Structure 1
Amino acid sequence: MTHDAAASADLLALARRIALVAGEHAVEERRRGISVAATKSTPTDIVTAVDRDTEERIRSMILDARPDDGIFGEEEDTHVGSSGLNWVVDPIDGTVNLLYDIPAWSVSIAVVDGPPDPAHWNALAGVVVNPVSGEVFEASLGGGARLGDRELHVNEDVPLNRALVATGFGYAVERRRSQAEVLVHVLPRIRDIRRIGSAALDLGALAAGRLDAYYEIGLNPWDHAAGGLIVREAGGRIGGLRGEAESDRMLVAAAPALFDELTALLEETVV
């Protein structure tokens, strides 16, 4: 299926409107108080009622506007559509930050042409909203990336040893142990590390020049669908190791030259 820039811009406008409404709702729910509704992969991998309520609200707004599209989200079963377009939704990215009232969590919504698999989709529109700060990172295919009214571009010409690099960690003990081993290898060779707690905000920050690079093992498609398009439209490169596409095995994002340096470093330790 082919989509022109105008169609992608229309999808972005809808995604932005939905994300802003959902984010406002989530902030109101957080003010009323929050509790852990369930755990997922481990006792520290939590889901709150806000996550579930926010995803339900997002799904309802999507289906009201575009009933033939599919929806692939974190908290609920996939809704299979007939249009070929899929909405990839993370209702709250940074749930632990939300729980602790750390103002670094986001609503992430992308629209992709094709299946909800990063190796086979073509991202058309993506928006990442931080409802606490009010910042809106967004991009449409061929339309560039923006933070509010500001056009975004990744930092260029940053050598690896001067790069401020973000990452994140999983919930399972064994994964954390292996991620720590990678970090020990990476940290002495870069400027410093940042761990914000929301992959979507990390990618938005990279596009905005607040970070130079980002890598993480174990991401799900909804964690980076919107942020990945924002980085690409800001001139960045995203992929995995050894020429692979980004996946749960690894996602690396940076300006093209730094991407090559960082992936080479990571390939020394990641099997």
Structure 2
Amino acid sequence: MSAELRELALVIGREAVALARQMRDGGIAVADTKSSAVDVVTAADRASEELIRARILAVRPDDAIMGEEGEDHPGTSGVRWIVDPIDGTVNYLYGLPDWAVSIAAEIDGEIVAGVVVNGSSGVEYAAARGAGATRDGRPIGVRPTPPLAERLVLTGFGYRSDVRTHQATCVAALLPHVRDIRRMGSCALDLCHVADGSGDAYVEEGPSPWDYAAGGLVLTEAGGRFALLAGRLREVSPEAATNALVVGTPADGWDTFVNALRTAGFLA
């Protein structure tokens, strides 16, 4: 069943990317804001999510849906879809390349299928539980983990100033101990970059399930390890989840990276 859900997500993801591209060609503007004045929503975010919801329910009307821009849709089938209609909205707004449509399917709390389609390049990452991960249909795997000092670490930042201050402090403490740090603007794609070997690790405290659900599965099916750990975000944002620190690495590099995060102050 996971493979069937993956294939449905791929078809729908391609259509949602095509819609977002078309809307961008016609000109885009900020439609609303969320957590802060710089946390933006475009009309394309909403249109993409509406399309995804409609396509899922047309085929699987009893499924539940959690989306970033709309209210949760209840279901009775035991399958829940977790949808980010445009992950990397600010990149999309500015015409930068790292934005994606991310669609995952969950059964009984476990992600079983995930698709991340890069809206700029069209590159498609896909995974089904137990069936491996692919990039444009070809199997992918994480790269062998180098020493900590030679690891390229991917990260991101939230949109509230107090959250950013906390995140930046931790990242600054980690930076001297790794090769370098990249902030490209899409959690979903960052996890996929670790999955295909174009990054050595990912860490960010505060992303939502729709940001990491699909990419997390792609990474684990590519031979990586992914988890939500207890960080320190609640010290500045009491409403944050206890386990809000999103971490992903190749499996053989997990322990040394988590130790480095502890030293840098990421972990509670």
TM-score range, shorter chain: over 0.9
1:140-177 CA-to-partner distances (Å, cap 9, x unmatched) read: 01110000132111112322111000000001111111
Residue 251 of structure 2 corresponds to which residue in structure 1?
A: 256
Say if 1:242 and 1:220 are closer, same or farther in 2 by CA, change over 3 A. closer
Correspondence for 1:266 among 217, 242, 261: 261
1:67 match: secondary structure: coil
Residue 46 of structure 2 corresponds to which residue in structure 1?
A: 52
What is the CA–CA distance in structure 2 between the aligned matches of 1:212 and 1:15, rounded to whole Å? 27
Q: CA deviation at 1:184?
A: 1.1
1:57-87 CA-to-partner distances (Å, cap 9, x unmatched) read: 0000000000000000000000000011100
Correspondence for 1:39 among 28, 33, 36: 33
1:88 match: secondary structure: strand
Please state if 1:200 is matched with 2:188.
Answer: yes
What is the CA–CA distance in structure 2 between the aligned matches of 1:202 and 1:35, rounded to whole Å? 25
What is the CA–CA distance in structure 1 between the aligned matches of 2:20 and 2:12, rounded to whole Å? 12
Residue 141 of structure 2 corresponds to which residue in structure 1?
A: 153
Correspondence for 2:19 among 25, 38, 45: 25
Say if 1:247 and 1:203 are closer, same or farther in 2 by CA, change over 3 A. farther
Correspondence for 2:99 among 105, 116, 119: 105
What is the CA–CA distance in structure 2 between the aligned matches of 1:248 and 1:59, rounded to whole Å? 28
Normalised by the length of structure 1, the TM-score is 0.92
Give 1:258's aligned amino acid: G
Please state if 1:87 is matched with 2:88.
Answer: no
Correspondence for 1:122 among 110, 117, 120: 110
Unmatched 5+ residue regions in structure 1?
A: 1-6, 115-120
Give 1:124's aligned amino acid: V
Normalised by the length of structure 2, the TM-score is 0.93
Q: Conserved in 2, the CA contact under 8 Å of 1:242 and 1:267?
A: no
Q: Conserved in 1, the CA contact under 8 Å of 2:230 and 2:242?
A: no
Unmatched 5+ residue regions in structure 2?
A: 232-240
Q: Conserved in 1, the CA contact under 8 Å of 2:194 and 2:250?
A: no
What is the CA–CA distance in structure 1 between the aligned matches of 2:93 and 2:145, rounded to whole Å? 38
Say if 1:162 and 1:232 are closer, same or farther in 2 by CA, change over 3 A. same
What is the CA–CA distance in structure 1 between the aligned matches of 2:152 and 2:133, rounded to whole Å? 21
Correspondence for 2:71 among 54, 57, 77: 77
1:15 match: secondary structure: helix
1:114-153 CA-to-partner distances (Å, cap 9, x unmatched) read: 2xxxxxx211110000122010001001110000132111
Q: Tell me how many residue pairs correspond in the alignment.
A: 257
1:233-263 CA-to-partner distances (Å, cap 9, x unmatched) read: 00100113369xx976201100123221111
Q: Conserved in 2, the CA contact under 8 Å of 1:91 and 1:108?
A: yes
Q: How high is the sequence identity, in percent, across the aligned residues?
A: 47
What is the CA–CA distance in structure 2 between the aligned matches of 1:100 and 1:141, rounded to whole Å? 35
**Bigger mean CA deviation after superposition, 157-166 or 132-141:** 157-166
Give 1:227's aligned amino acid: G
Q: CA deviation at 1:196?
A: 0.8
1:165 match: secondary structure: strand
Q: CA deviation at 1:267?
A: 1.8
Q: Conserved in 2, the CA contact under 8 Å of 1:22 and 1:57?
A: yes
Say if 1:247 and 1:18 are closer, same or farther in 2 by CA, change over 3 A. farther
Any residues of structure 2 matched to 1:158-169 within 5 Å, and which?
A: 158-169=146-157
